[in-house]
Structure 1
């Protein structure tokens, strides 16, 4: 491990108690959502119910498969975006080559690579977006959550996939220079102030 890397022990908490009935009670909120982000701390049946709900109603859904567990092709096909890290990718796809899997799911599966950035297939070729180099890594906890939130915001602001991944990389690079999963997440204004921020991205305010 590098200085600033995290080591996480997963202890199921409140998320593990969220049932599909809870999701049903929140359907009115989901129906007004532009994008829904879900991760695997919820029970499998809850995640699958939520994926089905969004898929049938054409609501954009992003699944971050953390912690890793197997997922069927049926449910991957129903997702708009799927963002495993390298470890989660290995659990889900076994010894399949990254290029082969990504080419099967262009502009859908985005692998986060930590200090190496992120990778996806755009339908024609593999695209690697490098991570931004930082002076000091303080705490990588929450970097993946920051990436997913930033990507979702960028995607719903009509940025291209490549632009959205670049913005997400930039945002997560700021988060690892601070301590804490939530306190490390930067504001949009912080990102706009960076020299790497592209005004051409044209975010919706």
Structure 2
């Protein structure tokens, strides 16, 4: 059985204060490092125009590329190097949807679940989501990408704002768990047909709404170095532990600890750091 994580791989420019660095990014990229350590029976499926990006993954043999005519590009600017909770983002808003026909020949025969990581609302058309629901396995989905829309154009990119999405109710219906932060929750509300809502709030911790509400304290991190991909790391750690232990509280506490470990170092999570 295999856990299948699907979503774009990106080319990112990260600006912290006056320092700039170029990185491979995207939720599926950051999550693959967590799965590689804690749920090694996984497959990452990414859409992009540059297959060389796969070489940056922890195990390129566990990556399948859907070649498109563009690649997602993000600029992540942290204007205050002493407060990495504040981030300004812009993107090229690549329109490179993942279609059912892209997936039919590359999905494994036996699947534990799907992890869907849209970076904008073009990535997963509703027809693709309905196709994945037909497998009748758990689906874990990040909400943020569906809410991203272009705002002010800056050169070839657009600043990002979050807005509700008309198809969101249909897309989320029947999904096992959705992942979002408090600001995103304030946009879409909580009236969705999902089993779990995992709601993060940075250094203030997280809460998980299922039959009731479980509050998860953030693990205190005195040495914050790089928060890019922290939410993606939390999501992958939560899913890994939830599939193994079946416990919401165990999964939340584990995810909080792994997210703390990630932000103490540059780049994706690694147990070797």
Q: Please give the range of the TM-score, normalised by the shorter of the 2 chains.
A: 0.7 to 0.9
What's the offset of the Cα at 1:37?
1.2
Relative to its length, the structure with more helix (as a share) is 1
Distance 1:24 1:170, change over 3 A: same
Distance 1:157 1:12, change over 3 A: farther
- Structure 1 unmatched runs, 5+: 94-100, 191-205
- Per the normalisation by structure 2, the TM-score is 0.56
CA distance in 2, matches of 1:9, 1:108: 28
Distance 1:139 1:5, change over 3 A: farther
SS in structure 2 opposite 1:78?
A: coil
CA distance in 2, matches of 1:51, 1:61: 10
RMSD over aligned CA atoms reads 2.6
Distance 1:51 1:40, change over 3 A: same
- Per the normalisation by structure 1, the TM-score is 0.72
Larger mean CA deviation between 162-171 and 59-68 belongs to 59-68
Corresponding residue number in structure 2 for 1:62: 140
- Whether contact under 8 Å (2:238, 2:252) holds in the other structure is yes
- Whether contact under 8 Å (2:221, 2:260) holds in the other structure is yes
Question: C-alpha deviations, 1:39-85, integer Å up to 9, x for none?
Answer: 22255473523431232221211111123522532322221110011
- Whether contact under 8 Å (1:6, 1:139) holds in the other structure is no
What's the offset of the Cα at 1:13?
6.5
Corresponding residue number in structure 1 for 2:58: none
> Among residues 213, 219, 237, which one is paired with 1:126 in the alignment?
213
Matched positions, count = 174
Relative to its length, the structure with more strand (as a share) is 2
**Which portions of structure 1, spanning 4 or more consecutive aligned residues, are displaced by more than 6 angstroms?**
none
What's the offset of the Cα at 1:3?
2.1
